[in-house]
């Protein structure tokens, strides 16, 4: 890091610190992602999924550009020098009262889906799409922080506790790592709502509460979906086990309980069976809530008559806990008929 001068700290995460640095070579400012992990060799560094992904995906107008990899073999330290952006989506909307213009929302969502389409076409899915990882500079949006990314073609099961809980797709919550790149689109839908309303769509306090909040908005899953859950994830004597769970693991009316974030397969199965039990024994939930969510997408953009936000919301299929639309389909949506959406 002798070629860079530390200017200040931008942020801190579990696995890294982000610093603002000045290059002594070209006089430009960069973001330095300094890893907390100790690295033994350059081979270990080059095998890091984040570095491989950024090298493979660049250059692209909506992917954060990796400028340089700085590895100090003696200290075992690693820093990723990336382009410096102005802020992230979370910082953009935090404390904001005035709604963002509809054109700007469309602009950001179009660019986000451009980035997802690009990474998916290149065989990578992000697994941690959230406001903090979506960066903005002027009117350009870029997807960053590929520390959790995986190859689409890698063998399942994947890591269970991936993605920040509020943006975690149902298949991440209800299976032991059997999910796909489609989880990125679920997360993008949650981000879209948050940009529009300045409120998180599913702010669950734990995994069961997260499922409950999703259920409250999207309603009871279709019978076909429930049957699919039973066929894929469970075993003989299903009804007997569901009955036992129903009597011994009740869900309070507010949908909350004390299920810990880290759990073994037995607890994960119990959580899923409990979910199915609740679903099978309840009427269609909170359709009024669902209507309020959809209505918010037109009201908060400042144009009550606007249909575009609701159409975009529909194409993300937040009504379906197993979204099948890809980012490419999203990009072709009529709501983006005025692309390239110059600001």
- At 293 the pLDDT is 54
Tell me, yes or no, whether 262 lies in a domain.
Answer: no
Distance CA 318, CA 156 (A): 24
Considering the domain architecture, whether residues 197 and 124 belong to the same structural domain is answered as: yes
Write the burial class of residue 132 (CB in 10 Å: 0-12 exposed, 13-18 middle, 19+ buried): middle
- Please confirm whether the linkage preceding 52 is cis (ω < 30° from 0): no
Considering the domain architecture, whether residues 97 and 79 belong to the same structural domain is answered as: no
Tell me, yes or no, whether 336 lies in a domain.
Answer: no
Structure tokens of 205?
A: 């306090």
Distance CA 189, CA 214 (A): 12
Considering the domain architecture, whether residues 166 and 312 belong to the same structural domain is answered as: yes
CATH no. for residue 13? 3.30.200.20
Say if pTM beats, i.e. exceeds, 0.85.
no
128 has catalytic annotation: yes
Q: Among all chains, which residue has been given the structure tokens 């610093």?
A: 19
Considering the domain architecture, whether residues 185 and 289 belong to the same structural domain is answered as: yes
Considering the domain architecture, whether residues 91 and 56 belong to the same structural domain is answered as: no
Considering the domain architecture, whether residues 210 and 126 belong to the same structural domain is answered as: yes
Distance CA 277, CA 339 (A): 45
- At 221 the pLDDT is 64
- At 220 the pLDDT is 60
- At 219 the pLDDT is 65
Considering the domain architecture, whether residues 66 and 105 belong to the same structural domain is answered as: no
Considering the domain architecture, whether residues 74 and 205 belong to the same structural domain is answered as: no
Number of domains present in the structure of the chain: 2
Tell me, yes or no, whether 247 lies in a domain.
Answer: no
Q: Which of 51, 68, 85 is CA-nearest to residue 4?
A: 68
CATH no. for residue 218? 1.10.510.10
The active-site residue, picked from 17, 26, 117, 128, is 128
Kind plus residue range of the DSSP H or E element containing 67: strand 66-72
Tell me, yes or no, whether 333 lies in a domain.
Answer: no
The DSSP result for 121-143, as a single string, is HTTEE-S---GGGEEEETTEEEE
Tell me, yes or no, whether 343 lies in a domain.
Answer: no
Structure tokens of 227?
A: 């049957």
Considering the domain architecture, whether residues 147 and 21 belong to the same structural domain is answered as: no
Give the strand order in the sheet containing 134-137: 87-88, 134-137, 140-143
The DSSP result for 75-92, as a single string, is TTEEEEEEEPPSEEHHHH
Domain span including residue 144: 87-234+270-323
Considering the domain architecture, whether residues 42 and 100 belong to the same structural domain is answered as: no
Tell me, yes or no, whether 331 lies in a domain.
Answer: no
Distance CA 206, CA 261 (A): 7
* Residues flagged as binding site: 33
Considering the domain architecture, whether residues 149 and 208 belong to the same structural domain is answered as: yes
pLDDT in tens, the chain (343 residues): 789 999 999 998 888 999 999 999 999 999 999 999 999 999 999 999 999 999 999 999 999 999 999 999 999 999 999 999 999 999 999 988 898 988 898 899 889 989 999 999 999 999 999 999 999 999 999 999 999 999 888 876 566 556 688 998 887 777 666 778 888 888 888 898 899 889 898 899 888 888 888 877 776 666 676 666 655 554 343 344 344 333 333 333 444 433 334 444 555 444 444 444 444 443 333 445 555 555 554 444 443 334 444 544 554 444 444 443 455 555 655 555 555 444 4
Tell me, yes or no, whether 45 lies in a domain.
Answer: yes
Half-sphere exposure of 111 (CA within 13 A, CB side): 26
Considering the domain architecture, whether residues 76 and 119 belong to the same structural domain is answered as: no
Tell me, yes or no, whether 184 lies in a domain.
Answer: yes
Of the residues 26, 60, 83, the one at which a domain ends = 83
């Amino acid at each position: 890091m002798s070629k860079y001068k530390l200017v200040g700290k931008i942020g801190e995460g579990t696995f890294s610190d982000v610093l603002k640095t000045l290059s002594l070579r070209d006089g430009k400012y960069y973001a330095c992602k300094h890893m907390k992990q100790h690295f033994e060799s350059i081979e270990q560094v080059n095998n890091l999924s984040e570095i491989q992904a950024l090298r493979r995906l660049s250059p692209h107008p909506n992917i954060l550009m990796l400028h340089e990899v700085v590895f100090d073999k003696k200290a075992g330290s690693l820093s990723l020098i990336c382009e410096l952006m102005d802020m992230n989506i979370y910082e953009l909307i935090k404390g904001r009262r005035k709604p963002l213009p509809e054109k700007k929302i469309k602009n950001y969502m179009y660019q986000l889906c451009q980035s997802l389409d690009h990474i998916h076409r290149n065989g990578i899915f992000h697994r941690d799409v959230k406001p903090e990882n979506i960066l903005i500079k002027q009117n350009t949006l870029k997807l960053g922080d590929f520390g959790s990314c995986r190859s689409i073609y890698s063998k399942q099961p994947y890591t269970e506790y991936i993605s920040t809980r509020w943006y975690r797709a149902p298949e991440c919550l209800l299976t032991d790592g059997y999910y796909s790149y489609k989880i990125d689109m679920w997360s993008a839908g949650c981000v879209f709502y948050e940009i529009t309303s300045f409120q998180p769509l599913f702010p669950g306090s734990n995994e069961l509460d997260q499922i409950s909040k999703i259920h409250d908005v999207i309603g009871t899953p279709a019978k076909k979906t429930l049957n699919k859950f039973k066929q894929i994830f469970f075993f003989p004597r299903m009804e007997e086990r569901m009955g036992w769970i129903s009597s011994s693991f009740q869900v309070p009316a507010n949908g909350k309980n004390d299920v810990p974030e880290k759990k073994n397969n037995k607890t994960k199965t119990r959580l899923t069976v409990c979910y199915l039990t609740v679903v099978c024994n309840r009427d269609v939930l909170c359709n009024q809530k669902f209507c309020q969510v959809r209505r918010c997408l037109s009201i908060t953009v400042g144009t009550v008559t606007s249909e575009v936000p609701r159409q975009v919301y529909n194409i993300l299929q937040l009504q379906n806990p197993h979204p099948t639309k890809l980012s490419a389909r999203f990009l072709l949506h009529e709501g983006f008929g005025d692309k390239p959406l110059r600001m």
